[in-house]
């Protein structure tokens, strides 16, 4: 299957990062969100990242212009009628994703692959909202997208081998490393990462150590680039809670129970870096 044009749905941190790496790899990209100002914010994030590359001498100003020119703003889902691949990076909510996929199924050309960047929702259930479940697949990028090498590729129950192969090949053209996983709650990345973060929050909650001490232990003792509480703030505490709830519900095991302190912070609106306050303050 030949892919030339990609639509990325959602111009937030993940969506704009995905759009950037796709445009850098030479694909024509449509960056779609509900409002023009959301797309503008995503585009200015891309320009800021690319300007850093120019400043570091890794890219010329002409190359930057060529990448930016390959990204077109879109606020109309009908634009999916022109694309070969859609990568959805909208909010983590099954009802919203199912609605988007049902609409895309009507709009996108018959050959188009519909991928989701969901961090934990079942690909099989998203695929069931369409009449082309064999062309639906998970393509889970890590944050920050331009830096992180991994893309978890998740096969739904009906995903065709040919579709899997196309997505694996595209991932390599983005200079990322594809890793194949099956469709279970949290896939592999978040099934392992989130319980560690949740345990770090329990460690704080139970007064075992300060937040700084917990992060220092994991950074210096395990060589993690960020301590788990800093990483939770970076990912977003609402996202961490949502993924823990998905694991808890999906496996039914108490070991996935979200820490009450995580719930309390989310209820307070302390969502981490994006809200200016989480375990740490960013104001």
Clarify whether 190 is annotated catalytic: yes
Catalytic residue among 16, 116, 120, 190: 190
Clarify whether 117 is annotated catalytic: no
- In whole angstroms, what is the distance from residue 51 CA to residue 133 CA? 39
Q: What would the two tokens of residue 275 be?
A: 């809200």
Our finding on whether 15 is near ligand CAA (CB under 6 A) is no
Q: Give the nearer residue to ligand CAA in terms of CB position, either 78 or 182.
A: 182
Our finding on whether 146 is near ligand CAA (CB under 6 A) is yes
User: In which residue are the tokens 């694996």 written?
Assistant: 168
Our finding on whether 245 is near ligand CAA (CB under 6 A) is no
Q: Which of residues 197-226 bind ligand CAA (CB under 6 A)?
A: 225-226
Question: Which H or E run contains 155?
Answer: strand 150-155
For strand 136-141 and strand 150-155, is the pairing parallel, antiparallel, or unpaired?
A: antiparallel
Q: Which residues contact 112 (CB under 8 A, 6 or more apart)?
A: 80, 83, 84, 85, 86, 135
Strand, coil or helix: 29: strand
Residues paired with residue 153 on neighbouring β-strands, in sequence order: 139, 180
> Angle at CA 226, nearest 5°, toward 225 and 232?
145
Stretch in the footprint of ligand CAA (CB under 6 A) among 29-37, 61-69, 131-139, 140-148:
140-148
172-193: string of b/e by CB count within 10 Å (b at 16+)?
A: eebebebbebebebbbbbbbeb
Closest distance to ligand CAA from the beta carbon of 52 (Å):
5
Q: Give the nearer residue to ligand CAA in terms of CB position, either 52 or 255.
A: 52
Give the one residue of 16, 24, 49, 124 binding ligand CAA; rule: CB under 6 A: 49
Q: Give the nearer residue to ligand CAA in terms of CB position, either 103 or 143.
A: 143
Show the site string, 105-124: x = touches ligand CAA by CB under 6 A, - = not.
--------------x-----
Q: Which residues contact 62 (CB under 8 A, 6 or more apart)?
A: none
Q: Give the nearer residue to ligand CAA in terms of CB position, either 56 or 267.
A: 56
Q: Which residues contact ligand CAA (rule: CB under 6 A)?
A: 49, 52, 56, 119, 142-144, 146-148, 189-190, 193, 225-226, 231, 235, 239
Which positions are catalytic? Answer: 119, 140, 152, 190
């Amino acid at each position: 299957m030949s892919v030339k044009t990609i639509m990325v749905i959602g111009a937030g941190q993940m969506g704009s990062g995905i759009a950037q790496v796709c445009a850098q790899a030479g694909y024509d990209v449509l960056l779609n969100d509900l409002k023009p100002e959301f797309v503008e914010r995503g585009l200015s994030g891309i320009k800021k990242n690319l300007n850093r590359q120019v400043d570091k001498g890794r890219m010329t100003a002409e190359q930057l212009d060529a990448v930016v020119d390959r990204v077109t703003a879109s606020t109309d889902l009908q634009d999916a009628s022109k694309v070969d691949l859609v990568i959805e990076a909208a909010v983590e909510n099954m009802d919203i994703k199912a609605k988007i996929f049902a609409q895309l199924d009507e709009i996108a050309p018959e050959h188009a692959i519909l991928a989701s960047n969901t961090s934990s929702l079942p690909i099989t259930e998203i695929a069931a909202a369409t009449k082309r479940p064999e062309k639906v697949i998970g393509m889970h990028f890590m944050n920050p997208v331009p830096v992180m090498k991994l893309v978890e590729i998740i096969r739904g129950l009906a995903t065709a081998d040919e579709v899997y192969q196309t997505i694996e090949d595209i991932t390599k053209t983005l200079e990322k490393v594809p890793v194949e996983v099956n469709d279970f709650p949290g896939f592999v990345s978040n099934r392992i990462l989130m319980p560690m973060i949740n345990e770090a929050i329990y460690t704080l909650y139970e007064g075992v150590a300060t937040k700084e001490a917990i992060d220092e232990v994991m950074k210096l003792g395990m060589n993690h680039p960020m301590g788990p509480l800093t990483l939770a703030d970076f990912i977003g505490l609402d996202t961490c809670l949502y993924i823990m709830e998905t694991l808890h519900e999906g496996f039914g095991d108490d070991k996935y129970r979200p820490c009450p302190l995580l719930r309390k912070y989310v209820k307070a609106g302390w969502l981490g870096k994006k809200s200016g306050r989480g375990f740490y303050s960013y104001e």
